[in-house]
Structure 1
Amino acid sequence: MVIVMGFEGSANKLGIGIVKDDGTILSNIRHTYITPPGEGFLPKDTAEHHRSWIISLVKRSLTESGLTHKDIDCLAYTKGPGMGPPLRSVAVTVRMLSQLWKKPIVAVNHCIAHIEMGRLITGAKNPTVLYVSGGNTQVISYSLKKYRIFGETIDIAVGNCLDRFARVINIPNDPSPGYNIEQLAKKGKNLVELPYVTKGMDVSFGGILSNIESIAKNPVRLKEYTVEDLCYSLQETVFSMLVETAERAMAHCGQTEILAVGGVGCNERLQQMINQMVSQRNGQSFAIDERYCIDNGAMIAWAGYLIFKNNITTPLCETSTTQRFRTDQVEVTWRDD
């Protein structure tokens, strides 16, 4: 039996998870750095949050799992992509624990971890993956030992688009800006026409954000539309773009399964739109709830195990981090299909 402890801290969520080699999740603890309404989270402040909480989360994770550090076989951490200072603060802790506990380290790609956690939890075999989060937006499919990117955002990520609009309308960041936009959108009735930007299988959200920001800041336009209308319109537009590009990738790859991962993948309206599209293709859609969809340590632990089971580890001198680490850079050594 192999047991891996995973460390995630690429953005404002710090997560520690412990996973067995059969996929059993023994612990999955998370603490989120939350800022006041109208404010984002700065890298240096987020890193300070992670440094302040990480040791207590490690202890809680071990307690919850009923294990001690002697039971852990490997430590997995997020190498990237993500915010530089938070990534580094977690990597330093992992290097320290590795030397104290005498455990090997495995560096993990954050995006790959989302995909493999989604496959583990849902049982999806070979899906087209719609990866949507605060920092990433990609349409992905597996081929020839790589997760290939068939489409992606050419400017900002969809989650970043939603988060920045939440700041404009000054709604709370607790539990997350995207979740609060989702709740407001459920009350929206009037659809505001916004730019719809798809370019092949790529998408662009920057112009949409600028457009809806100008409406939200215009007192005259706000007499025509409520804040709920704006949230509803933003969701409908950006999610339609995502579903269109995902369907195009499914058709191109001849696949019948689609899996939504990343923080925005928790959105019920997005899941509903994906289900509607897939049902017309006689396919099947898969989604996971916020425990495993939002950044978490268990996904890093599981991806770390998949790498570690082939006797691949990361030497201490190479346990660096990087803000840019593309999904298609990773050789998928654990899949034979």
Structure 2
Amino acid sequence: MPTLSEVARHAGVTPATVSNVLRNRGRVGTQTRQRVLDAVDALGYRPHLAARALAEGRAPTLALMVSSIANPFYPEFALAVERAARASGHFVIICNTNENPLDGRAYLEQIAGTLSEGVLVTNANLDFADLHKTEARGTPVVLCMWERPNEPPGLPCVAVDFRRAGELAGAHLLELGHRRIGAIVGSKASGIHAARYEGFVDALRAAGAPRNRVRHAADTIHGGYLATRALLEADPKLTAIFATNDLPALGAMHAAADLGLQVPADLSVIGITDIQLARESRPALTTVAVPTVEVAGLAVSLLRELIESSYGQAGRGTASVPMRISSAPELVVRASTGTPRSR
């Protein structure tokens, strides 16, 4: 593989000039710049990113921590992050924790500040103490999709009002005339989906609707399937299911089909997020969409600001902890919800 020095000799310039051209820095004349670019093409030179990181003390990459790459939401979010990062000249390293805090800690210790100069964190089951340590070592951290805008996490974040998303889902079912509604929460009672369920309960309470039945389940299609069967076994007269995420909602529709129920004639189903599968399911899933692409852009932009600033260098000092708030979630009505009929 050709070296930067070989490119410099081929172009008749110094290695520093080649470096400036490749990084688009400094003042380099038009003809000199073109000679360097021609030499790069002729020799097939490619920068060695690891060597550059060691030499400059920073890497042109960002790390994105996700809890499970098997969850369809995360590839969609990663794609949006990758597009935003590339627009700013960065690459993205995807770090899949498999919902294991120890795996997440290993990524933070081995990648943050070496292979990546900043870390984006989704719901990856990471210990906040580990994130604060990463930040204290001088590597900025940004939480993506923080679910409680009114409760700052103490780390830079992009927040989405998921409580409002749950409220919109509940209000939609109520407006259709549903009163016997089951809920599937894709986390523990105090877990990351708690705010979504709280918003749903707010909507029911405001309408004077009866208390709902609820099941906490794995945030998967299979988890939603099992929870729906349990809910309908406990109350066969349920006319609607609210799920705190789209995957359990899709599982609810699968369960309905296996039980001989038609969606939405016998059972309406609504989720939250609006992943691609929600649009492609049959019937198409009614859901509350969150601004995934916008959040990705805000997160990358905030992380870049922190990287370029002194934030996180040897501690924050008196710097305030920044938060960006996305656009509000929006109800997307499709074919999986309708008016109830008695069973």
TM-score (norm 1): 0.34
Larger Rg: 2
Higher-RCO chain (CA-CA 8 Å, sequence separation at least 6): 1
Q: What's the TM-score once normalised by structure 2's chain length?
A: 0.34
Specify which structure has the higher proportion of strand: 1
